[in-house]
Amino acid sequence: MKRLCLFPVLLLLVAVAGACAPAPPREVTIEIHYSHYSMSQIDVPAGVPITFTIKNDDPIDHEWMIGDLAMHERHRLGTELVHASRPDEVTIPALSTRTTTLTFPVPMALMYMCHLPGHEQYGMVGMLIAK
């Protein structure tokens, strides 16, 4: 009789352990072709790591920079011309692929774009929604 009573308790423990395990990164693939991103909007869950794979099919370099409007304004004004890649500011050389992993801690909306001269105006812009 005692063994029968413990069985539901063990099942509950297994369920709780499963819920606490860290989730694997979610994967998002963005392709760049003819100076456009393949997605103009990306929806991701907030609070979990998201791995972005950015594949540049063009014979010229591009960028994938994600941030708020103030961040993009800094890049438009060119006050930060050259720096090493950061998780949220990735340069993808011609005909190559880069990956980066980001976590959006709370629900938010961010823009991503390429700040090489003329590319934003040409349409290399998109929006990410974390919810």
What does the alpha-carbon distance between residue 39 and residue 35 come to, in Å, rounded to a whole number?
12
Q: DSSP letter at 23?
A: P
Footprint on residues 76-115 left by Cu ion (CB under 5 A): 114
Footprint on residues 34-63 left by Cu ion (CB under 5 A): 62
Candidate residues 102, 116, 127, 129; the one interacting with Cu ion per rule CB under 5 A: 116
What does the alpha-carbon distance between residue 47 and residue 45 come to, in Å, rounded to a whole number?
7
Residue 85: C-alpha distances to residues 44, 46, 92, 93, 98 (Å) = 22, 23, 10, 12, 10
Q: Which is nearer to Cu ion, 54 or 130 (CB)?
A: 54
Candidate residues 90, 119, 120, 130; the one interacting with Cu ion per rule CB under 5 A: 119
The residue at minimum Cβ distance from Cu ion is 114
Contacts to Cu ion by CB under 5 A: 62, 114, 116, 119, 124
